Chain A
Amino acid sequence: MWRLLYQLASPMAFYRLSGRIAPWFATSAMLTLVVGMIWGLVFAPPDYQQGDAFRIIYVHVPCAFLSMSLYAFMGFLSLLLLIWRIKIAGVMLRMCAELGASMAFLALVTGSIWGKPMWGTWWIWDARLTSELILLFLYGAILATANAYQNKEQGDRVVAILALVGLVDLPIIHYSVYWWNTLHQGATLSVFAKPKMDTSMLYPLLLTLLGFGLYSAWAVLLKTRNEVLLRERRKGWVKQLVERGKP
């Protein structure tokens, strides 16, 4: 079992396997995103309080969710790298940070666009907003650190430690709407409770959540494959691959 996992984690095996599954992620991400967004924009009924402005939820919530779950996944990758020394985890760590940063940015900006008509302000130093902004800064710090190291593998380990320390922000973001009195509304979805949303509005949200997840998985795989080629260029298989000219 462990042997098999180690073999899969070898750069060459990873490159081959990911090359086979990546197109599936791309296609299914495209499908779920298109269907989910059209459903959310056209067929979901307007909210009784927020009117049509609530439709921003179908991009805002997935971005926020992904910004946090990519970070949680980075925590997992950090453990793989630091404890089991799986190099590919270190490469993936950077790529997750790149994507996570853009997701956090999008969550903040779409939230701001939603906040203006609903709360009357673009920004407020509210617990949820502030903790999400801190997440964006964490991503920024991680990316800056990663790029500061000439020796990439050394940089990966420092990034892993930094990512683990930053994990403390995740529960703060999640529970901020309960711990503090905030302007931000409470969670719409929860694993343990019945969703606070009618199914006609809920299904498109689940679809776009899935779509953003698949998109992220695809993007991280593609970026990681690219970096693996560069780092492994001294190995024979990379040379063969490049000489054949087929990615």
Chain B
Amino acid sequence: MNAILQWLSMGGYAIYVWSAYGLVGSLLIMNILAMKWQKKKTYKQLQRWFRQSEQLGAMDKMPTDAS
């Protein structure tokens, strides 16, 4: 237990070391979550786009932007 506490204290630099690691770790993880979310959104967008373009029928009447 003591060894763990000592390790956590990082020789008195705990706040610096852990905040640096925490920031980097959370940004990397947030980026992964954002990518997953973006992928889902893209699929929904494309599905909607294909549905719309089928309803419109003719290619020249297709909506120009998926966003």
Closest Cβ neighbor of A56 among chain B residues = B20
Residues of chain A within 8 A (CB-CB) of B17 are: 41, 52-53, 55-56
Tally of A-B residue pairs with Cβ under 8 A?
Answer: 82
Residues of chain B within 8 A (CB-CB) of A234 are: 62
Contact A52 B23, CB 8 Å, known A116-B16, A223-B35, A230-B45: no
Contact A53 B11, CB 8 Å, known A102-B27, A106-B27: yes
Q: In the complex, are the beta carbons of A46 and B11 less than 8 A apart?
A: yes
Residues of chain A within 8 A (CB-CB) of B43 are: 242, 245, 247
Contact A226 B42, CB 8 Å, known A110-B20, A219-B35: yes
Residue ranges of B at the interface with A (Cβ–Cβ < 8 Å)? 7, 10-13, 16-17, 19-21, 23-24, 27-28, 31-32, 35, 38-39, 42-43, 45-47, 49-50, 62, 66
Residue ranges of A at the interface with B (Cβ–Cβ < 8 Å)? 37, 41-42, 46, 51-53, 55-56, 59-60, 63, 99, 102, 106, 109-110, 113-114, 116-117, 215, 219, 222-223, 226, 229-230, 233-234, 238-239, 242-243, 245, 247
